[in-house]
Chains A and B, each alone.
Chain A
Amino acid sequence: MFRWNRERWFWMGAIGLGLLPILATFALAIFLFWNAAGAAAQIGMRELATTEWLPQQGRYGVARLLIGTLAVTALALGMAVPFGLSAAGYLSLYAGRKVRAAANAAMGLLGGIPSVVIGLWGMTWIVPLFGNSWISASLVLALMITPTITLLSGAALRLVPADLLEASRALGVSEAIVARVAFHHARWGILGAVVLGTSRALGEAVAVSMVAGNVVSWPNLMRPIATLTTTLIVELDSAAGSHRDALYLLACIVLMAISTLSVFGRAAQRKAGI
């Protein structure tokens, strides 16, 4: 298999290139952890757990940033999940092949729009309606994660055996019950889709920072809000010394949250056989 002597360069190249992404990821994680651990030790857990984020005064409480992140993500999920799952249900259970292909292409396109473009769209259409606020941030995020949720849960729903649905229909139950059977069968795949959508929402920075207002505050639907990622993107440019270290800590929190969610999301999808 490994004809090492004759094909050494090929294998060295292949293995090297194969390992590179893994090494790069680890290097990035170690770099972030190193800086974040230094910051955490320097700032102290007692300070980090407070609600006051005032870098110029040496206050680095991340509590309200965490709450902001959770609030924006939760509301975005509240908007994206009903739409995403309904769309996925219709497209995979009832829509014709052409409609499904067209819708999936459109969803793929929507998911591929650079976030700065979505952010600009949000600034011109959403901000005039709702101001720079929690609701604007969540609307923009919902727009970005709906494609993820729709496409991934659609894939899970298409794995539901056709004879299961036919058997349900043969029992004479209403179509709503048939759909429920399908969703129940695909529950792990759908959970995976929602979890992966959540991790995308947690990591999104650019578009959200353009509509959220980025002011550290207690969540209020019509008032500005700051999240971990918007704080990072807005402040990194001008941060020095311990302020910069504290921002690395924020980045580390985001990285840990996203990796954990991704592991769970993938596990759920594997369980569903996707």
Chain B
Amino acid sequence: MIRLRVALVASLIAPTAFLTNGCHRRQTEQVVVTGASTLYPIVQMAAEELRRTKGLDVMGQGGGSTRGFEDCIAGRNSLGAMARELAPEEKAQVIVFPIAYDGVGIVVHASNQIAGLTTEQLRQIYRKQTTNWSSFGGRNDRIVVVHKAEGHATREVFMKYTGLTPDEMTRFTDVTAGDNAQVIRVIANTPNAIGYVSLGEVIKAAEAGQPVRLVKFNGIEPVMENVTNKTYPLFHPLYLISKGEPKGGSRVLLDFLRSSEGKAIIRQGNYVPLE
């Protein structure tokens, strides 16, 4: 029991180490970007480049879009990263900078042989009118429908494009997952599942050896070129947000992401830079 108490006290005291850390941060001008993990790779690559060329210290942290917004309002970060649309009351409190587009990929398990799906077939699957993969030339297996939690941009894009009603979006769900990584993990572990995820993140996960694959949508290959030229219809913008007019390092980072080197980095991360 005593050992348990010691561990408890230690775990409560440990976070103070981070508090003192925070004080040091403010002295050397560091650009802290927190929020959507979707933007994390972009920020990380830009950070490496800016450290090398300008000696600027940029630190990226995940935690989700909501954290990015709250940190921004509370002044805990320099810039917030948002992978979802801002609510009107949120938009009123910050300045919003669109940085890139992210495609929304229709993803299945790597062992799933289906070639592609049309909008109408997706509707049938997500309305549970078609419940077996054999209807689309796949193996004879029940379709497990995976959704994102409410509020995610990918969910909004999917809903708008397929024309499913909010009621249909909730009623026929087998699994609700929190973020892209979780959807990918569910599908990698469920051979008969289907979901929709950030295109950039699926490509990375597949490259890392996760057993997931993207399927053609309305006959269009889900590749970066097709998102760039907008023939692939499922995509949404990613934002960085700032509480006031960005100054110093934040300005440098934003300008860099809109420069040609910055755009090259965004493409490298499997996202589409703004024109």
**Which residues from chain A sit less than 8 Å from chain B, CB to CB?**
17, 20-21, 24-25, 54-57, 120, 123-124, 127-128, 131-132, 209-210, 213-216, 224, 226, 233-241, 243-244, 274
A1 CB to closest chain B CB, in angstroms? 22
CA distance A81 to B177 in the complex (A): 30
B8 touches A237 (CB 8 A): no
CA distance A24 to B87 in the complex (A): 31
CA distance A219 to B181 in the complex (A): 27
B12 touches A209 (CB 8 A): no
From the candidates A20, A216, A226, A236, name the one contacting B66 in the complex (CB within 8 A).
A236
**Which residues from chain B sit less than 8 Å from chain A, CB to CB?**
1, 8-9, 12-13, 15-16, 64-67, 69, 84, 86-87, 89-90, 144, 148-152, 166, 170, 173-179, 182, 185-186, 189-190
CA distance A102 to B72 in the complex (A): 51
Q: A238-B152, A239-B151 are in contact. Are A123 and B185 (CB under 8 A)?
A: yes
B143 CB to closest chain A CB, in angstroms? 12
Closest to B36 in A: A237
From the candidates B13, B15, B89, name the one contacting A241 in the complex (CB within 8 A).
B89
A215 touches B174 (CB 8 A): yes
Q: A234-B149, A241-B89 are in contact. Are A17 and B13 (CB under 8 A)?
A: yes
Complex contacts, A238 vs chain B, CB 8 Å: 64-66, 84, 148-152, 178
B212 CB to closest chain A CB, in angstroms? 14
Number of A-B contacts (CB under 8 A): 106
Complex contacts, A124 vs chain B, CB 8 Å: 189
A131 touches B151 (CB 8 A): no
Q: A127-B190, A241-B89, A241-B90 are in contact. Are A213 and B150 (CB under 8 A)?
A: no
Closest to A155 in B: B1
Other A-B pairs, 15, CB within 8 Å; known A21-B12, A123-B186: A21-B8, A24-B15, A56-B150, A131-B174, A210-B182, A214-B149, A214-B177, A215-B170, A215-B175, A235-B150, A235-B151, A237-B67, A237-B152, A239-B151, A241-B87
Closest to A213 in B: B175
CA distance A238 to B67 in the complex (A): 9
A153 CB to closest chain B CB, in angstroms? 15
From the candidates B9, B69, B87, B179, name the one contacting A21 in the complex (CB within 8 A).
B9
Complex contacts, A215 vs chain B, CB 8 Å: 170, 173-176
Closest to A230 in B: B176
A235 touches B12 (CB 8 A): no
Closest to B85 in A: A240
B196 CB to closest chain A CB, in angstroms? 14
Complex contacts, B90 vs chain A, CB 8 Å: 240-241
A24 CB to closest chain B CB, in angstroms? 5
B166 touches A56 (CB 8 A): yes
Closest to B5 in A: A21
Q: A237-B149, A239-B151, A243-B150 are in contact. Are A214 and B175 (CB under 8 A)?
A: yes
B30 CB to closest chain A CB, in angstroms? 25
Complex contacts, B89 vs chain A, CB 8 Å: 241
Q: A21-B9, A55-B150, A238-B152 are in contact. Are A132 and B175 (CB under 8 A)?
A: yes
CA distance A237 to B68 in the complex (A): 10
B146 CB to closest chain A CB, in angstroms? 9
B85 CB to closest chain A CB, in angstroms? 9
Q: A21-B9, A123-B189, A234-B176 are in contact. Are A239 and B66 (CB under 8 A)?
A: yes
CA distance A237 to B90 in the complex (A): 15
Residue of A54, A55, A214 with most chain B CB atoms under a 10 A cut-off: A214
Closest to A274 in B: B1
